[in-house]
Amino acid sequence: MDDKKIFKILQHWFPELLERKIPKKKKRKDFEEFLGWLVAEKVANHLRAYMMKIDRHAFHENEIERSAVFQDYNVDSQNLQTTIRQRAKPILAHFEKHKAVIGRYYNVQDQVFDIVFEEILTLLKVHNFELLLIYADDYYWLAVPNEDHKIEKFCKHFNKQFHDEDISIEHYALFDCSRST
């Protein structure tokens, strides 16, 4: 397998990454090396990144303000964070109120993460981008151009490359089914 493919696809999507040397062959299957290659850069007085980490215990720690794509399109990250908090507030309040009954059977964080990812994806779609989610020790998200064939190819190669580390990726999608909240 040519394990350079995911790096090459990322360089195609984000020409800024052409300036970064692809890691040596023996290090390409190391997820930490991959994260290091995509590390945020300081531009002016803010961080700019393509791969954003989300704290599993604090949904508002999602690095939206670091997103190079959102920066390029002048997305108001504070407004986006406010929208996420407003949508999450009633769910968290309901959970707190009924925690004694539903607490051990229900993971409220998963529902809140859906809100975070729905809001991010909604804004990305306005600019013809899609959302990829990476499941590792932490969650990561990546905004990529809406190119279905390349996204499918990237995800397939990514999952092959990091399978041994039990790390996976998915193309996040919104579902049109109704929710009960």
Does residue 2 register a pLDDT over 80? no
pLDDT one-digit tens code per residue, 21-32: 999 999 999 999
**Whether the predicted pLDDT of 74 surpasses 70:** yes
Task: Report the amino acid identity of residue 127.
Answer: H
Domain locations in the chain?
A: 5-171
Average pLDDT in the chain: 88
pLDDT of residue 176: 58
Distance between CA atoms of 75 and 169, rounded to whole angstroms?
25
Joined tokens for residue 163: 């399978």
pLDDT for 102 equals 78
- Give the tens place of pLDDT for each residue, 159-175: 999 999 999 999 998 86
Model pLDDT, residue 133: 96
pLDDT at residue 1 above 90?
no
Residue 132: band (very low, low, confident or very high) from pLDDT cuts 50, 70, 90: very high
DSSP strand pairing (139-145 vs 51-54): antiparallel
Backbone phi, psi, residue 170, to 5°: -140, 155
User: What was the pLDDT predicted at 7?
Assistant: 96
Overall average pLDDT of the 56-81 stretch: 86
d(CA 65, CA 61): 10
